[in-house]
Amino acid sequence: MSARASGAASLTEIGGGSRERILDGALELVSRYGISGMSLQLLADHVGLHKSTLFHHFRDKQSLVEEVTRRLMATLAERLRPLAEADPAEIEQVVSIAEDLDDYFAEHPGTALFAMREILGPYDPVYRGGLSPETNRFFGLLGGWLDRARGAGVVRPLSVPQAIVNLMGLALFYPALVDQSGDDLPFGDPRSPETRRRRKRELRETLQRALQP
């Protein structure tokens, strides 16, 4: 299957300076090739800058990837912040946020695949980096809501860690697969309005069935 040819949308406005171009390019290339597959020379060529410019902004590849990760996961965690303020907890709250994340991933190709690489980082045989504080905050917001909802009887009795894994699978796997596979998926254009509507409807119905007491 061919990787998605078009670039990942930026987390900041394109043209905001060489630092932002580097961060945006790194997100796209790591999403596509993994950390070990992204060389600094490949990144420099991709964003049209001299390799020395990368070192002007970042100490090494590790610090660059860590900055991309922090920025992305902080953005995703912020989208979960309403769960911390939800009182009482209701299933519709987490369903609405899952739909919001799905829209975000559709609008920012590459981000779901990058987030999956971050979450799997500690288990990567090449790169065993730990989870960023922003990623832990993301999990903390989701886990806190699940724990409160379970205690209030809003959701069925469930294992919070296992529920987090299941929810991440529902929210991340499909958009990450779309980013990786491009138009090679066998069930039609994954970015067409009709497919997007079907995806969101099935996401909503699956989450409701999975969580209801």
| In the chain, where the domains are located | 66-211
The one-letter amino acid code at 110 reads G
Q: How far apart are CA 131 and CA 69, in angstroms?
A: 9
Q: For residue 88, what is the DSSP state?
A: S
Question: Is 53:25 a contact under the CB 8 Å cutoff?
Answer: no
The one-letter amino acid code at 188 reads G
Q: For residue 2, what is the DSSP state?
A: P
What percentage of the chain exceeds 70 in pLDDT?
Answer: 86
| 3-state class percentages of the chain: helix first, strand second, coil last, to nearest 5 | 70, 0, 30
Q: The tokens of 63 are what?
A: 């610090």
pLDDT of residue 161: 94
- Judge residue 52's burial from the number of C-beta atoms within 10 Å of its C-beta, 0-12 exposed, 13-18 middle, 19 or more buried: exposed
What is the second-level CATH architecture of the domain 66-211?
A: Orthogonal Bundle (1.10)
Q: How far apart are CA 76 and CA 106, in angstroms?
A: 13
pTM score of the predicted model: 0.81
Question: Is 21:30 a contact under the CB 8 Å cutoff?
Answer: no
pLDDT of residue 15: 38
Q: What is the mean pLDDT of the chain?
A: 85
pLDDT of residue 10: 44
Q: What is the pLDDT of residues 45-84, one digit of tens each?
A: 999 888 888 888 888 988 898 899 999 999 999 999 999 9
pLDDT of residue 56: 86
pLDDT of residue 127: 58
Has residue 205 got a pLDDT over 80?
yes
Question: Is 176:116 a contact under the CB 8 Å cutoff?
Answer: yes
Q: What is the pLDDT of residues 10-35, one digit of tens each?
A: 444 333 478 888 998 998 888 888 78
Has residue 164 got a pLDDT over 60?
yes
pLDDT of residue 42: 92
Banded pLDDT at 147 (limits 50, 70, 90) = very high
Q: Stretch 92-106: mean pLDDT, rounded? A: 94
Q: How far apart are CA 43 and CA 156, in angstroms?
A: 47
Q: How far apart are CA 210 and CA 91, in angstroms?
A: 10
